[in-house]
Chain A
Amino acid sequence: MRHIISILMENEAGALSRVAGLFSARGYNIESLTVAPTEDPSLSRMTLVTTGTDQIIEQITKQLNKLIDVVKLMDMTEGPHIEREMMLVKVSAVDKERAELNRLASIFRGRIIDVSDKTYTIELTGDGDKLDAFLQALDSTVILEVVRSGVSGIARGQRALRL
């Protein structure tokens, strides 16, 4: 099963490589990984998407907790949560394609954030499935470049990952 694990860790050099190293050394999957400082500059928050059996996920969370730099973590998928990913897509846009792309972007609630005489750059936010669906809806020949941020997540309601 797919899990989203959010981690608060010391904002130390090398902390990221400890997590990445753990996953490669123990052969765990990483689907995506994002990391940035929090409102407390001494802490970073990492969001990790991984897949595995219950037993593997249990090991992953235990092994992560064992890392000295990890302060706290939460498996978002254990409760109701919101998951978001941001994507930037550059497409070739000439002639009548321009109107069609404009329409498609607005159906998916995307925004055109850059325009040139031959291209559009579209920004889109949502869960992974929505981003996939948008890419599928685009004619693959028009896609010039895709950038995805990787997933970030937050628990619904009162549940919060904080110190």
Chain B
Amino acid sequence: MELTGAEIFVRCLKEQGVEFLFGYPGGAVLHIYDALYVQDDVKHILVRHEQAATHAADGYARATGKPGVVLVTSGPGATNAVTGIATAYMDSIPMVVFTGQVPTHLIGNDAFQEADNIGITRPCVKHNFLVKDVDRLAITIKKAFYVATSGRPGPVVVDIPKDITAEKAEFDYPKTVTMRSYNPVVKGHTGQIRKAVDLLISARRPMIYTGGGVLLGNASESLTELTHLLEFPITNTLMGLGAFPATDRQFVGMLGMHGTYEGNMGMHHSDVLLAIGARFDDRVTGNIDKFCPAAKIIHIDIDPASISKNVKVDVPIVGCVDNVLKTMIKEIKARKLEIDKQALAEWWKQIDEWRDMDCLKYDRESDLIKPQFVVESLYEATGGDAFVTSDVGQHQMWAAQYYKFDKPNRWINSGGLGTMGFGLPAAMGVQFAYPDATVACVTGEGSIQMCIQELSTCRQYGLPIMIVNLNNRYLGMVRQWQEFFYQGRYAMSYMDSLPDFVKLAESYGHVGMQINRPGDVKDAFREALKVRDRLVFLDFITDQTENVYPMIPAGGGQNEMILV
């Protein structure tokens, strides 16, 4: 039987197992909305701004490992979605975004609500497709999901002109698809893996450094097994937190600009570095010329282009992280490896000395609410078991530093693009995926206002998200840089004319609380966790002058940290 393009679209999503479609209607996609209206298989979630649709789909993808799916209209619908697409691209998040387009015969005519979606999104997608023929619609959707979810994942845009959604074709959704131009690698080269194992065994001051790739590649278990087997210290990037249990003794904290002293010093002084699913980002390496001067580097990554991009590596291994780690574990076990235990013990002694500096200490006696204390209290109140999303700024760093993630895919933040406004919509995506889980959005009064309209979406769908607003009345991270590097000239970093967040939350039908004293912090969390049918907005009035420590200033090496 022939179906319209719109019906084909909906059937494809159903066949693909899509649970949620985050979107916002408009002229170019009305046929599709009409087809969505008459079915229940794919649940459409109506956001309040297309940016939020992409972040929600992104949050859903990060928490579940399944691709997030978005539908927006042509022109402004698509351009509003771009920030979220770019956010997903930078963090390699699998996502398929359908954008409406003006009818084929009007493309290029500056038609009403026309934008060159393919051109605009090209630099921030893994791939994009324009559907020019209804007969190609189903296969294109199949390809989009395949490309988005395989290899190094990423967002894929499918641009669908309105006439295509009205025309008819036979429906056939292929089970699999192959593309001669796209064949992601799976297995690592065994010779390289053997070389890597040789190097690991010879190490005297080893360090394991892992990033978001371990989470994307579902390799936490293998990573944990390997790390325990080797007894080496391990550090995670901001994107990689939770891949190895943060409460494990072998974990030396996050590394990078606001990483721990022991993490960064361990990196700097290492002689063998095992980098896994990480990309040597500038916020991690500090000054590249001073990066790990003594280390031989092994790098496991699924993307060949990631290897030796920023830092030249000695043993590159291209392949699926989990696959490579499993082979590595087998190889190590088979070889009855003989690590120099004494050297390793000395290395641990050194690391523990660095750890004893207690670089994350802060003033616990203060009369003001310290943001670090709020995050610690959140950790306690939720038993370390919440999904935590964040926005961008100081609060993001404190959440990363003080919430100890023991499980993968619980920490959800925009590490690559650093998109303020990400936190609340991402939390929505997570809550849809796990309706019974505790989902906390750690944010700042600046960031939360960038997608504040989503409080309405949360009300409509009864999402019991907990917003943890670390309200310092400043664009804190900007203020911190101005204090450190611009002699305290606080240009445009004071957040004036803030709303009463409690009343604002209440006006949407949510619960709002303002917390002013350290003594009330724990009670507030206890109260908030009791609410399961509505969102709770916790507005913590925090110490305005608190800074994020430790810090590697721009141009510094990993051994050149500013400590508190």
21 intermolecular pairs with C-beta atoms under 8 Å apart: A9-B181, A10-B181, A14-B122, A14-B130, A17-B119, A17-B122, A21-B122, A21-B123, A25-B123, A55-B308, A58-B308, A59-B305, A62-B305, A63-B305, A65-B304, A66-B305, A68-B126, A68-B179, A69-B181, A71-B180, A163-B180
Asked whether, in the complex, the Cβ of A59 is within 8 Å of the Cβ of B309, the reply is: yes
Determine the chain A residues whose CB is within 8 A of the CB of B119 once the complex forms: 17
A13 CA to B119 CA, complexed, in Å: 11
Beyond contacts A14-B122, A17-B119, A58-B308: 20 other A-B pairs, Cβ-Cβ < 8 A, are A9-B181, A10-B181, A13-B130, A14-B118, A17-B122, A18-B122, A55-B308, A55-B312, A59-B305, A59-B309, A62-B307, A63-B305, A66-B304, A68-B126, A68-B127, A68-B179, A68-B181, A68-B182, A69-B181, A163-B180
Q: How far is the CB of A16 from chain B (nearest CB, A)?
A: 12
A binding-site residues for B, Cβ under 8 Å? 9-10, 13-14, 17-18, 21, 25, 55, 58-59, 62-63, 65-66, 68-71, 163
Determine the chain A residues whose CB is within 8 A of the CB of B309 once the complex forms: 59
Determine the chain B residues whose CB is within 8 A of the CB of A163 once the complex forms: 180
Residue B304 contacts which of A9, A55, A62, A68 (CB distance < 8 angstroms)? A62
Determine the chain A residues whose CB is within 8 A of the CB of B181 once the complex forms: 9-10, 68-71
Which residue of chain B has the shortest Cβ distance to A18 in the bound complex? B122
Q: How far is the CB of B268 from chain A (nearest CB, A)?
A: 23
Contact of B303 with A by CB under 8 A: yes
Determine the chain B residues whose CB is within 8 A of the CB of A13 once the complex forms: 130
Contacts A10-B181, A21-B123, A163-B180: A68 and B312 contacting too (C-beta < 8 A)? no
Determine the chain B residues whose CB is within 8 A of the CB of A25 once the complex forms: 123
A21 CA to B147 CA, complexed, in Å: 20
A110 CA to B180 CA, complexed, in Å: 42
A71 CA to B182 CA, complexed, in Å: 7
Query: Which bucket holds chain B's interface residue count?
Result: 10 to 19
Contacts A9-B181, A21-B123: A66 and B118 contacting too (C-beta < 8 A)? no
Asked whether, in the complex, the Cβ of A68 is within 8 Å of the Cβ of B308, the reply is: no
Determine the chain A residues whose CB is within 8 A of the CB of B118 once the complex forms: 14
Interface residues of B in 116-161 (CB under 8 A from A): 118-119, 122-123, 126-127, 130, 147
Q: Mark B308-350, 1 if CB is under 8 A from A, else 0.
A: 1100100000000000000000000000000000000000000
Q: Is the interface of B mostly helix, strand, loop or mixed?
A: mixed
A34 CA to B127 CA, complexed, in Å: 23
- The listed residue with most B CB atoms (<10 A of its CB), out of A58, A65, A66, is A66
B binding-site residues for A, Cβ under 8 Å? 118-119, 122-123, 126-127, 130, 147, 179-182, 303-305, 307-309, 312
Which residue of chain A has the shortest Cβ distance to B151 in the bound complex? A66
Determine the chain A residues whose CB is within 8 A of the CB of B126 once the complex forms: 68
A58 CA to B305 CA, complexed, in Å: 9
Asked whether, in the complex, the Cβ of B180 is within 8 Å of the Cβ of A66, the reply is: no
Determine the chain A residues whose CB is within 8 A of the CB of B180 once the complex forms: 71, 163
A100 CA to B119 CA, complexed, in Å: 50
Determine the chain B residues whose CB is within 8 A of the CB of A71 once the complex forms: 180-181
Which 7 A-B residue pairings sit nearest by Cβ, starting from the closest? Answer: A62-B305, A68-B127, A71-B181, A62-B304, A25-B123, A66-B305, A68-B182
A71 CA to B122 CA, complexed, in Å: 18
Determine the chain B residues whose CB is within 8 A of the CB of A17 once the complex forms: 119, 122
Which residue of chain B has the shortest Cβ distance to A62 in the bound complex? B305
Determine the chain B residues whose CB is within 8 A of the CB of A21 once the complex forms: 122-123
Q: How far is the CB of B417 from chain A (nearest CB, A)?
A: 15
Determine the chain A residues whose CB is within 8 A of the CB of B308 once the complex forms: 55, 58
Determine the chain A residues whose CB is within 8 A of the CB of B179 once the complex forms: 68
Determine the chain B residues whose CB is within 8 A of the CB of A65 once the complex forms: 304-305
Q: How far is the CB of A94 from chain B (nearest CB, A)?
A: 46
Which residue of chain A has the shortest Cβ distance to B179 in the bound complex? A68
Q: How far is the CB of B133 from chain A (nearest CB, A)?
A: 12
Asked whether, in the complex, the Cβ of A68 is within 8 Å of the Cβ of B305, the reply is: no
A68 CA to B305 CA, complexed, in Å: 14
Determine the chain A residues whose CB is within 8 A of the CB of B147 once the complex forms: 68
A65 CA to B307 CA, complexed, in Å: 14
Determine the chain A residues whose CB is within 8 A of the CB of B123 once the complex forms: 21, 25
Q: How far is the CB of A15 from chain B (nearest CB, A)?
A: 10
A14 CA to B86 CA, complexed, in Å: 19
Determine the chain A residues whose CB is within 8 A of the CB of B182 once the complex forms: 68
Determine the chain A residues whose CB is within 8 A of the CB of B307 once the complex forms: 62
Determine the chain B residues whose CB is within 8 A of the CB of A14 once the complex forms: 118, 122, 130
Determine the chain B residues whose CB is within 8 A of the CB of A9 once the complex forms: 181
- The listed residue with most A CB atoms (<10 A of its CB), out of B182, B303, B307, is B182
Q: How far is the CB of B233 from chain A (nearest CB, A)?
A: 30
- The listed residue with most B CB atoms (<10 A of its CB), out of A10, A17, A62, is A62
Determine the chain B residues whose CB is within 8 A of the CB of A62 once the complex forms: 304-305, 307
A18 CA to B181 CA, complexed, in Å: 14
Q: How far is the CB of A144 from chain B (nearest CB, A)?
A: 35
Which residue of chain A has the shortest Cβ distance to B303 in the bound complex? A66
Q: How far is the CB of A130 from chain B (nearest CB, A)?
A: 35
Determine the chain B residues whose CB is within 8 A of the CB of A69 once the complex forms: 181
Which residue of chain A has the shortest Cβ distance to B132 in the bound complex? A13
Q: How far is the CB of A140 from chain B (nearest CB, A)?
A: 39
Determine the chain A residues whose CB is within 8 A of the CB of B122 once the complex forms: 14, 17-18, 21
A66 CA to B126 CA, complexed, in Å: 9
A163 CA to B183 CA, complexed, in Å: 14
Determine the chain B residues whose CB is within 8 A of the CB of A18 once the complex forms: 122
Q: How far is the CB of B182 from chain A (nearest CB, A)?
A: 5
Q: How far is the CB of A40 from chain B (nearest CB, A)?
A: 11
Which residue of chain A has the shortest Cβ distance to B124 in the bound complex? A25
A59 CA to B304 CA, complexed, in Å: 9
Which residue of chain B has the shortest Cβ distance to A71 in the bound complex? B181
A71 CA to B180 CA, complexed, in Å: 7
A35 CA to B304 CA, complexed, in Å: 26
A9 CA to B179 CA, complexed, in Å: 12
A152 CA to B114 CA, complexed, in Å: 38
Which residue of chain A has the shortest Cβ distance to B126 in the bound complex? A68
A75 CA to B123 CA, complexed, in Å: 24
Q: How far is the CB of A126 from chain B (nearest CB, A)?
A: 33
Which residue of chain B has the shortest Cβ distance to A42 in the bound complex? B180
Determine the chain A residues whose CB is within 8 A of the CB of B303 once the complex forms: 66
Q: How far is the CB of A1 from chain B (nearest CB, A)?
A: 17
A68 CA to B181 CA, complexed, in Å: 6
- The listed residue with most B CB atoms (<10 A of its CB), out of A25, A66, A68, A163, is A68
Determine the chain A residues whose CB is within 8 A of the CB of B312 once the complex forms: 55
Which residue of chain A has the shortest Cβ distance to B307 in the bound complex? A62
